[in-house]
């Protein structure tokens, strides 16, 4: 709360034992000027007369019509359903002598919700009896939004920073390993005259070169993601992207008899970076084909829906699946040991970085031998 708001709160919530409950107090020039400058409104409840009062700024914040009459019971209608019990509890404690200072979600007369910083204190008479309550509240919706946005951005930056650190460690390990292998192979090549050994060592050089190139490509791809994430988003239809990627894999789809079912009726489009959305479809379709089961025709379901107000895209296949002990680490790039999953992990690591660079998320669930499901939240 600003200095002026604090000053106004102190003036309005004076702890003196006797505070008259009348409109003259609410009309004081100094009070009114502070209220206008801080954008905060005042309220009071008189237990003896069973009346409540809202000052001009409070009525303005709540967007009340001039004909609206305030009542102590009606005060609860200005709090959202989820915060109504919290408001009741604070008012009850305050009526027994405990002041409060809180952030709470309120609702205006036109049903528009907003966040408020609220303060309340009991009012005493000359005999030290509580005869009412009074307080102030201030609309801090923009402040809350900015804090949430900052927190979300900070979380995303931290996550991306950790991913880049992790990735750089892996890249560093791979480059050192590959450089060491190359140096050793060249050294051996110097001191051998055996033709078969030379052929084998030359083959090793070719493999190391290929691995080095792949490592540098991965690093470059990650850097490109950070750059492209800043580009403006566009409205894209899911059906158009699927159609484009379907053509890219037309040959494989026909060769293996892949059956693709899609339904984008619930969510037809999304505001996204086209190349990123294309990559989601490309990676997940190509991986489904690559890791299909030999025991059955590959079936791939692709559809959209809404979950808690967020747009979701789901890919579900009936391929070989992933063991439950490994599925949670499928997006974590780890290439210390050579194994068949490294290529898949690299592919999904890059994909996850793309999605998270645009504040989204991707999760995977799988049953070994039955298939895998990927859910992307935008």
Q: Is the pLDDT of residue 105 over 90?
A: yes
pLDDT digits (tens, 9 = 90+) for 111-127: 999 999 999 999 998 88
Which residue did the predictor score with more confidence, 151 or 284? Answer: 284
Whether 325 has a pLDDT exceeding 90, the answer reads no
Q: How high is the pLDDT of residue 349?
A: 79
Mean pLDDT of 235-242: 94
Residue 170 confidence (pLDDT): 65
Cα 92-96-98 angle, rounded to 5 deg: 85
Question: What pTM did the predictor assign?
Answer: 0.52
* pLDDT of 13: 47
CATH fold for the domain made of 229-378: Heat Shock Protein 90 (3.30.565)
The pLDDT value recorded for residue 36 is: 64
Lowest mean pLDDT among 96-100, 161-165, 256-260, 342-346: 342-346
Among 77-81, 149-153, 296-300, which stretch is predicted with the lowest mean pLDDT?
149-153
Rounded mean pLDDT of 285-311? Answer: 92
Q: What is the predicted pLDDT for the residue at 29?
A: 60
| Mean pLDDT of all residues in 209-227 | 70
Residue 64 in this model has a pLDDT that exceeds 90 = yes
Give the per-residue pLDDT at 24.
Answer: 47
Window from 130-139, 151-160, 358-367 with minimum mean pLDDT? 151-160
Averaged pLDDT, 140-152: 87
Q: Is the pLDDT of residue 34 over 70?
A: no
Q: What does the pLDDT read at residue 16?
A: 39
The tens digit of pLDDT for each residue in 158-201 reads: 776 776 676 666 666 667 776 777 777 777 777 777 787 777 77
* Residue 253, pLDDT score: 92
Residue 18 pLDDT more than 60?
no
Average pLDDT for 268-292: 91
Mean pLDDT of 199-219: 73
Under CATH, what is the fold of the domain 3-139? Beta-Lactamase (3.30.450)
Bigger pLDDT: 304 or 222?
Answer: 304
Mean pLDDT value of segment 368-373: 91
Percent of the chain scored above 90 by pLDDT? 42
């Amino acid at each position: 709360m600003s200095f002026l708001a604090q000053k106004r709160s102190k003036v309005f919530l004076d702890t003196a034992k006797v505070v008259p409950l009348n409109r003259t107090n609410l009309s004081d020039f100094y009070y009114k000027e502070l209220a206008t400058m801080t954008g905060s409104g005042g309220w009071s409840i008189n237990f003896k007369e069973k009346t409540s009062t809202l000052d001009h700024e409070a009525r303005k914040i709540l967007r009340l019509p001039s004909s609206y009459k305030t009542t102590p019971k009606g005060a609860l209608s200005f709090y959202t359903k989820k915060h109504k019990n919290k408001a009741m509890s604070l008012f009850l404690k305050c009526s027994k002598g405990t002041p409060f200072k809180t952030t709470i979600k309120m609702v205006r007369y036109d049903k528009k919700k907003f966040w408020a910083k609220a303060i309340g204190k009991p009012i005493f008479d000359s005999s030290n009896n509580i005869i009412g309550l009074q307080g102030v509240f201030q609309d801090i919706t923009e402040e809350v939004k900015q804090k949430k946005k900052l927190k979300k951005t900070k979380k995303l930056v931290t996550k991306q920073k950790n991913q880049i650190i992790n990735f750089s460690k892996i890249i560093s390990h791979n480059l050192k390993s590959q450089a060491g292998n190359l140096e050793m192979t060249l050294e051996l090549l110097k001191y051998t005259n055996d033709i078969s050994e030379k052929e084998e060592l030359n083959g090793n050089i070719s493999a190391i070169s290929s691995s080095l190139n792949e490592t540098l490509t991965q690093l470059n791809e990650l850097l490109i993601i950070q750059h492209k994430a800043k580009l403006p988003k566009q409205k894209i239809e899911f059906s158009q992207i699927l159609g484009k990627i379907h053509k890219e894999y037309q040959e494989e789809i026909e060769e293996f008899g892949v059956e693709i079912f899609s339904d984008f009726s619930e969510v037809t489009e999304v505001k996204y970076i086209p190349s990123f959305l294309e990559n989601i479809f490309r990676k997940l379709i190509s991986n489904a084909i690559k890791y299909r089961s030999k025991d059955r025709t590959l079936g791939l379901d692709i559809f959209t829906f809404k979950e808690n107000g967020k747009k979701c895209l789901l890919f579900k296949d009936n391929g070989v699946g992933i063991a439950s002990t490994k599925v949670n680490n499928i997006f974590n790039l780890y290439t210390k040991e050579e194994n068949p999953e490294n290529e898949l992990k690299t592919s999904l690591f890059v994909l996850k970085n793309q999605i998270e660079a645009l504040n989204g998320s991707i999760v995977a669930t799988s049953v070994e031998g039955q298939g895998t499901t990927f859910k992307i939240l935008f």
